[in-house]
Structure 1
C-alpha cells in the first residue's frame, strides 16, 4: 500500500496494517479530466508544497485540499488517493488494489468525500427543496440532479465501508458526516439510514437489496460494475479485464451462490421498457421469447425495484422452505435447484386426462401424443416460491414467487423463467407439492 505524506506530498510504501495503526485518511471522489497519476506525481511535488492557489490543474488543487484537510482538521499524516497512489501500469498492483479496496476504505481513520460539483447552500435554501430531493447534494447550476458522485459504481462501496465519513463541497467546506446526513443519503441512494448510521450492519441486507443499491450506477469499464461489489458481498474474485460486463457479473453471482443460501439473488424483474430488455433478448442464443430468462439476471439494473426484499427476516411466522439436496448449485446444463414447493398450473387436470386415456385403452403412441398436446396447450407453467420476502410500508411480509416453464416434454426437469417482468407476492399458507429437482437453463448471451 502507498500513501501520501500530507505535509511533504511524497509517496510512502508500506504495510497496510502499519498505516492503519498510525491512522490514515482516504479520499472518495469523482474522477475528472487530467487526474494526476502515480507516474506524474513526482513532477508536481514542488507545486503542491509551495504553489499559490489555485494550482495549475483542478486535480492538483484536489490533492492539496485533501491533504490539508486530513492534516489540519483530522491530525493525520497519511493520505490515500486512488488516482496517484496506485501504479495502474502494473496489472498485479491494480488487481491487488481492487481486491483490497474495500478493506482500505473500512480501515481508514476517516474518509473524506469530495463533491466537486456541489456548493453548500444556506439552511433555508436547503429546506425549501428537501421535499423532492436531498438539496444538500444537488449539483451546482443543475439542481434537478445530484452530484455525479451518486452515479458512480465505485462510490457505493466507498459509502458503505468507512466507519467515519465526512462530506465536503467543491471548496472543501464541510457538509456533514455520514451519520448526520443519513436521512439525505437514504433519499439519494435508497440505502436505509439505519445501515448508514451503523445502527444495523449493512451486511445483513439481502443480495437483492444490495444489488438494487448498484442499479443506476455506472463505471468507466463495464467489468467494474461487478468488481466494485466484491467487498460489499465479501467474495473473492480475481478481476479479468476484457471478459466483458456480462461475464463479470455472472461470475460474481456464481461466487455468491457458492457461499450463500440467500435466494433473493433470484428476486429481480426484467424491465418493462422494451429497449431495456430487448438488447438482452436479442443477444440471447437460442429460442428465447420476450419475457423469458434464466434465474440469474444479466445486470444489477434488473434489481432496481428489489430494495425491500429481505432474506432472513426476524419473524418466526414466515414459512420457510426446506431445500432438499443442499438447495442451489451450478450444474453443467444450468442452475440446479430442488423445486419444492412448485405449483404447476392445471397439473392435476393433465394427470386426470392421462388416467382417462389409460382406462380407455389408448396406445402408448396416442398417450405420448396427447400428453404433448396437453403440455403445449397448458404450457405447464408453475409458480416457484423463494425463501425471501418483500416488506410493505406497514412491515408486513409476503413470499416472493417467480414463474417457470418446462423447456420440453422430456426431460421435464429442464425449465426456464417466464413472465420475468413480474414476480408474485404470496401472503397465504404455501401448499407443498412433491419435491422435484429441476435445472433452470440460463440463456447463453453474447456480450452486450
Structure 2
C-alpha cells in the first residue's frame, strides 16, 4: 500500500500491512485534471498548484494534519495507473483499505452551501428544497466505485465543494438510506456476507462506471472476491467472471433470482449498457 505524506507530499510504499500507519482516505469523483502519481514525480508543486484539482489534494493533507494524521490515501495519486499489476492489486485490496482507514472523507464536489444542504436535508421533507436536492443529486451517489467507499469505512465524514462539513455517515444515515436505497442496517453492518447476494447486488442498481468492466470490478470488495482484472474483456465477461467467483464461495444462488420485469439482462447476463442493474432485478431479502 502506498501513502502520501501530508507534510512533504512524498509517496511511501508499505510492504507489510502491519506497519501501515493511521491514514485519512478520500472518496471523491474524478475531474478531468486530476493530479496523478506521474504528475507528482515530474512536475513541481508550484506548477501543480495551478491545477484546480491540486486544491483537493492540498486540502485533504491539511485536514489530515489537523487531525494528527501524517498520511493520506487518494486513488488518483497512490496507485500507479500505468501498471496493470499494481492496479489489479489495488482494486482487489481497496475495500479493506477503506475499512482500515482512520477516517474517510467523502468530498461532494457538486454540492453547494453547507447551510442549505445540512439544514434542508435534516429538517425538510420537500424534494425541491435546494439543500435536499443538491445533496441527493450529487454525482457521488451514482458512481460504482463510491458504493464500497460508502460501506467500508468505520468513520466517514461528508463535505461539500467548499470543504464545509455536512455531517457524518451516522448523522445522515436516514437520508443516505433514502438516496441510495440501502437500509440503515446495511450501511453499518461489519460483515456484509450475512446479507444475501441479491440484497447486496441490488445496491449497485443504476450506478455507473466510466470503463465497462468496472461495473463488475467495483463490487469485488462487497462480495469479498479476489480475481484478476482484464480490461478489454468487456462488461459481460467481467460480470460473468464475478458471478462465477461468487458461486464458488457461497451456496447463495440469489444472484440468479431475476424478477424479469423491466430488466436489461439477457441469458442471465447484463447487456452492454454502462448501468447494468436495476433495483427490481433482484428479490432483495436477508
Give me the TM-score of the superposition, normalised by structure 2.
Answer: 0.89
Which residue is equivalent to 1:5?
Answer: 5
- 8 Å Cα contact 1:4/1:85 also seen in 2: yes
- Mapped partners of 2:258, 2:196: distance in 1: 12
Q: Which of 196, 215, 221 is the matching residue for 1:225?
A: 215
- 8 Å Cα contact 1:207/1:264 also seen in 2: yes
Which residue is equivalent to 1:95?
Answer: 88
Alignment of 1:192-271 (within 5 A): 192-198=183-189, 201-271=191-261
Which residue is equivalent to 2:147?
Answer: 156
For the structure 1 residues 147 and 263, does the alpha-carbon distance in structure 2 shift closer, same or farther, using more than 3 Å as the test? same
- 8 Å Cα contact 1:210/1:307 also seen in 2: no
The answer to whether 1:58 aligns with 2:52 is yes
Alignment of 1:138-157 (within 5 A): 138-139=133-134, 146-157=137-148
- Mapped partners of 1:181, 1:19: distance in 2: 33
For the structure 1 residues 175 and 44, does the alpha-carbon distance in structure 2 shift closer, same or farther, using more than 3 Å as the test? farther
- Mapped partners of 1:241, 1:150: distance in 2: 24
Match of 1:175, SS? strand
- Mapped partners of 2:50, 2:252: distance in 1: 51
Question: How many Å apart are 1:209 and its aligned residue?
Answer: 1.4
- 8 Å Cα contact 2:120/2:131 also seen in 1: no
- Mapped partners of 2:183, 2:130: distance in 1: 18
Q: Which has the higher contact order (CA 8 A, sep 6+)?
A: 2
Q: Deviations over 1:209-231 (max 9, x none)?
A: 11111111111110011011111
For the structure 1 residues 206 and 135, does the alpha-carbon distance in structure 2 shift closer, same or farther, using more than 3 Å as the test? farther
Which residue is equivalent to 1:376?
Answer: none
For the structure 1 residues 186 and 136, does the alpha-carbon distance in structure 2 shift closer, same or farther, using more than 3 Å as the test? farther
Which residue is equivalent to 1:181?
Answer: 172
For the structure 1 residues 189 and 134, does the alpha-carbon distance in structure 2 shift closer, same or farther, using more than 3 Å as the test? farther
Which residue is equivalent to 1:77?
Answer: 70
Paired positions, count: 281
- 8 Å Cα contact 2:104/2:153 also seen in 1: yes
Structure with greater strand percent: 1
Question: How many Å apart are 1:303 and its aligned residue?
Answer: 4.8
Question: How many Å apart are 1:125 and its aligned residue?
Answer: 3.6
Question: How many Å apart are 1:192 and its aligned residue?
Answer: 1.0
Q: RMSD between aligned alpha carbons?
A: 2.5
Larger radius of gyration: 1
Q: Deviations over 1:71-95 (max 9, x none)?
A: 11x2100001110111111111111
- 8 Å Cα contact 1:152/1:218 also seen in 2: yes
- Mapped partners of 2:153, 2:167: distance in 1: 15
Give me the TM-score of the superposition, normalised by structure 1.
Answer: 0.58
Q: Deviations over 1:331-369 (max 9, x none)?
A: xxxxxxxxxxxxxxxxxxxxxxxxxxxxxxxxxxxxxxx
Match of 1:39, SS? helix
- Mapped partners of 1:301, 1:209: distance in 2: 16
Question: How many Å apart are 1:124 and its aligned residue?
Answer: 4.6
Which residue is equivalent to 1:284?
Answer: none
- Mapped partners of 1:41, 1:160: distance in 2: 30
For the structure 1 residues 124 and 157, does the alpha-carbon distance in structure 2 shift closer, same or farther, using more than 3 Å as the test? closer
Question: How many Å apart are 1:205 and its aligned residue?
Answer: 1.8
Q: Which of 291, 295, 298 is the matching residue for 2:270?
A: 298
In the alignment, structure 2 segments of 5+ residues that lack a partner are: none
- 8 Å Cα contact 1:153/1:214 also seen in 2: yes
- 8 Å Cα contact 1:29/1:113 also seen in 2: yes
- Mapped partners of 2:68, 2:9: distance in 1: 15
Structure with greater helix percent: 2
Which residue is equivalent to 1:130?
Answer: 125
Which residue is equivalent to 1:331?
Answer: none
In the alignment, structure 1 segments of 5+ residues that lack a partner are: 281-292, 312-448
Match of 1:238, SS? coil
Question: How many Å apart are 1:32 and its aligned residue?
Answer: 0.4
